[in-house]
Amino acid sequence: MCGIVGYIGRDRAGSVMVDGLKRLEYRGYDSSGVAVWTEEGIKQTKRTGRVAELEAALGDDLGGTLGISHTRWATHGDVTEANAHPHTSSDGKIALVHNGVIENYVGMKTFLTEKGYTFQSQTDTEALCNLIAYHYAKEPEVAGKNRFLESVRKSLRHVEGTYGIAALCTDCPGELIGARKGSPLILGLGEGENILASDANALTHCTRNVVYLEDNEVVHLTDDDFSITTVSSKSVEAVIHQVDWDTSEAELGDYDHFMQKEIFEQPTSLENGMRGRFSDDGSTAVFGGLNLNSQELRQVDRILFLACGTAWHSCLVAEYLIERFARIPVEVEYASEFRYRNAPLDKNTLVIAISQSGETIDTLGALREAKRKGYRTLAINNSVGSTIARESDGGIYQHAGPEIGVASTKAFTSQIMICAMLALYLGRLRDLSYGDGVAIVKALKKVPAQVEEILKQNEKIATVAKKYASYEDCLFLGRQLMFPIALEGALKLKEISYIHAEGYPAAEMKHGPIALISEDCPSVFLATSGEVFSKSLANAQEVKARKGKVICIASEGCDIPEGLADDTILVPECHEIVQPILMTIPIQLFSYHVALERGCDVDKPRNLAKSVTVE
Ligand code: M6R
């Protein structure tokens, strides 16, 4: 949510920052801007709209040796050029870009206004920018002390809230400063140049050597050196990591959209999630990073899953699978609710956070709250080195590759795959038999090829989607394991096509939502073979009887009565444990094609951003 790129080094600050912002645009795309240090002062360019607008405004003016830049997802203030970052202090000394929320900015603003500082924007960021200028103006010149750095640290000590920042000062042509608390910031170490970015994606075109800043750390950069201290001025030993993923994975290639690319990558992402993770006897899963031995895992008598959005739907699938195959009671909480609730947890509860980005602030906050209370925590996470991955006691990486489309697709199916493997693993530590384990492993291994088969129905699903693209309401209905997939189908459709959609357990229809059914509100039924199949069909009949259109997504071999479904999409017959993965593919394609038909920007839906790093 919002993206930052800062640069110091050779004469290419503008081009490195614009390239970086393009790679970060999925984090926020209301407006963008750059500030470059020049002999005449800070030169700033800002535009509302996409980074392309900024790039056009900059033209060939892409040089400079020091600069900061930002792509915004608005929190405080409208989408205007005045509210776009960077912000400059009213004395013109300091320029600042910021991700996060300064909660006490009103008090700061009052204080600074009394001191004669003025404000051009409605943002919280401008208050911090002026506060740094205020401390800088007051800071005496003392040999051996860095006045700019000292003023940033002093200002941050007053901040309540969260920040990832990059700042420059007109008096300091060779210095760039960054800091973080609750909002990610990564330092990229180049040759004769150093970069700051809120996401590794934005700096891998320059370097793969990175340092992940921790909360309350401040980094001071020159073109060939850096030092890290805490906000309270203690020095910090930096650990340099190598980004080892293939950067082309974050590029569009031959596809029209990242969402489309990521839907079609699922056979590979699912394969990657399983690679090397089955026992030699083929009866269970193995995970390297849980940091819990079998005995400790056998003592777990409850699991609490925490997540937001699509990842929360994965948790609901995990609940069904772990309770069914491992017989461990599972609870699922919205991370944003859990972190402020006084939830009684048993001491043998294992807390698992699921997050694609590993930076979602609510999930991170909930994880920290669980840790603070002394619970053992694990993370299921896609972004290697993310804050959630680093702060949990152990975890499982999804290995799905970078997900750029705002609508989560391959990360969702890969989370379900990991949860299915976890259910198998925990089950085999308890009652699940060798034979059942072998059957599940076989079923899991077949999934990539089965997904490939479903993807071949792309054209057919596009045709079905076109029929329903002009409706303004839609219901997604499913029972048991299909209920979370119904929720996910509704979320996918609403977030990228702006059609009002709801997911319900199919039998709940009769308790209220059936009032919505008319010829103007189609229903997508998710019906798999199994004990509730006939009951799902009965629910579909109830819709049909009220003139509602029925789109039926079902397993092959399911006997769907003639005339019940207006449209039918079939997925291969499979083991129950993998049904949620296979049934998800058609709803992803359906939403994608509906959104295209409605002319929506599928990769950058309105009001959204990829990673939600503000509360
Ligand atoms: O990165 P995370 O998995 O923590 O993100 C959680 C949600 O913000 C995310 O799944 C969101 O709901 C997506 N836009 C859904 O497509």
Cβ of 487 less than 6 Å from ligand 1: no
Atom 4, ligand 1: residue with shortest CA distance: 355
Q: Which atom of ligand 1 is nearest to the CA of 412?
A: 10
| 612 found inside a domain | no
**pLDDT recorded at residue 606:** 84
Q: Are residues 436 and 469 in the same domain?
A: no
Whole-number Å distance, alpha carbon 177 to ligand 1 midpoint, is: 30
**pLDDT recorded at residue 79:** 84
Spatial CA neighbour of 188 closest among 20, 12, 356: 20
Which residues of the chain register pLDDT less than 50?
none
Secondary structure class of 61 (helix, strand, coil) = coil
**pLDDT recorded at residue 248:** 66
**CB–CB of 587/457 below 8 Å?**
no
Cβ of 367 less than 6 Å from ligand 1: no
Q: Which atom of ligand 1 is nearest to the CA of 357?
A: 1
Q: Which atom of ligand 1 is nearest to the CA of 608?
A: 14
| 291 found inside a domain | yes
| 610 found inside a domain | no
| 65 found inside a domain | yes
Which among 29, 257, 310, 614 is the best mutation to test ligand 1's pocket, defined by most ligand atoms within 8 Å of the CB? 310
Q: Are residues 441 and 485 in the same domain?
A: no
Whole-number Å distance, alpha carbon 405 to ligand 1 midpoint, is: 11
Cβ of 407 less than 6 Å from ligand 1: yes
Q: Are residues 336 and 266 in the same domain?
A: yes
Question: DSSP letter string over 433-499?
Answer: -HHHHHHHHHHHHHHHHHHHHHHTTHHHHHHHHHHHTT-SEEEEEE-TTHHHHHHHHHHHHHHHH--
Residue 11 C-beta-side C-alpha neighbours within 13 Å: 4
Atom 9, ligand 1: residue with shortest CA distance: 309
Domain boundary among 398, 428, 456: 456
Whole-number Å distance, alpha carbon 407 to ligand 1 midpoint, is: 7
Domain boundary among 225, 244, 263: 244
CATH number for 267: 3.40.50.10490
Tokens of 16: 């490195």
**pLDDT recorded at residue 391:** 94
| 491 found inside a domain | yes
Cβ of 311 less than 6 Å from ligand 1: yes
| 211 found inside a domain | yes
CA–CA distance, 200 with 246 (Å, rounded to integer): 12
Whole-number Å distance, alpha carbon 47 to ligand 1 midpoint, is: 27
Cβ of 356 less than 6 Å from ligand 1: yes
Overall domain count for the chain: 3
| 608 found inside a domain | no
Q: Are residues 164 and 259 in the same domain?
A: no
**pLDDT recorded at residue 608:** 78
Q: Are residues 468 and 437 in the same domain?
A: no
CA–CA distance, 456 with 535 (Å, rounded to integer): 29
| 607 found inside a domain | no
Which among 356, 386, 403, 584 is the best mutation to test ligand 1's pocket, defined by most ligand atoms within 8 Å of the CB? 356
Q: Are residues 435 and 311 in the same domain?
A: yes
Q: Are residues 452 and 463 in the same domain?
A: no
Q: Which residue has the tokens 């896609």?
A: 382
Task: Please confirm whether the linkage preceding 86 is cis (ω < 30° from 0).
Answer: yes
Cβ of 112 less than 6 Å from ligand 1: no
Q: Are residues 255 and 217 in the same domain?
A: no
Atom 14, ligand 1: residue with shortest CA distance: 407
Which among 198, 259, 334, 360 is the best mutation to test ligand 1's pocket, defined by most ligand atoms within 8 Å of the CB? 360
Cβ of 309 less than 6 Å from ligand 1: yes
Whole-number Å distance, alpha carbon 354 to ligand 1 midpoint, is: 10
Q: Which atom of ligand 1 is nearest to the CA of 610?
A: 14
Atom 12, ligand 1: residue with shortest CA distance: 309
CA–CA distance, 436 with 193 (Å, rounded to integer): 56
Whole-number Å distance, alpha carbon 603 to ligand 1 midpoint, is: 13
Q: Which residue has the tokens 């600074």?
A: 112
Q: Are residues 193 and 298 in the same domain?
A: no
**pLDDT recorded at residue 1:** 65
Q: Which atom of ligand 1 is nearest to the CA of 406?
A: 14
Catalytically active residues are 2, 610
CATH number for 240: 3.60.20.10
**pLDDT recorded at residue 29:** 77
Cβ of 133 less than 6 Å from ligand 1: no
Cβ of 612 less than 6 Å from ligand 1: yes
Whole-number Å distance, alpha carbon 4 to ligand 1 midpoint, is: 20
Q: Are residues 378 and 424 in the same domain?
A: yes
Q: Are residues 449 and 464 in the same domain?
A: no
Q: Are residues 135 and 174 in the same domain?
A: yes
Dihedral angle computed from the Cα positions of residues 390, 391, 396 and 402, in that order, rounded to the nearest 10 degrees: -50
**pLDDT recorded at residue 344:** 82
Domain hosting 283: range is: 247-456
CA–CA distance, 595 with 495 (Å, rounded to integer): 9
Domain boundary among 439, 456, 473: 456
Q: Which atom of ligand 1 is nearest to the CA of 388?
A: 4
Q: Which atom of ligand 1 is nearest to the CA of 407?
A: 16
Cβ-count burial 202-217 (b if 16+ within 10 Å, e if not): bbbbbbbbbbbbbbbb
Whole-number Å distance, alpha carbon 356 to ligand 1 midpoint, is: 7
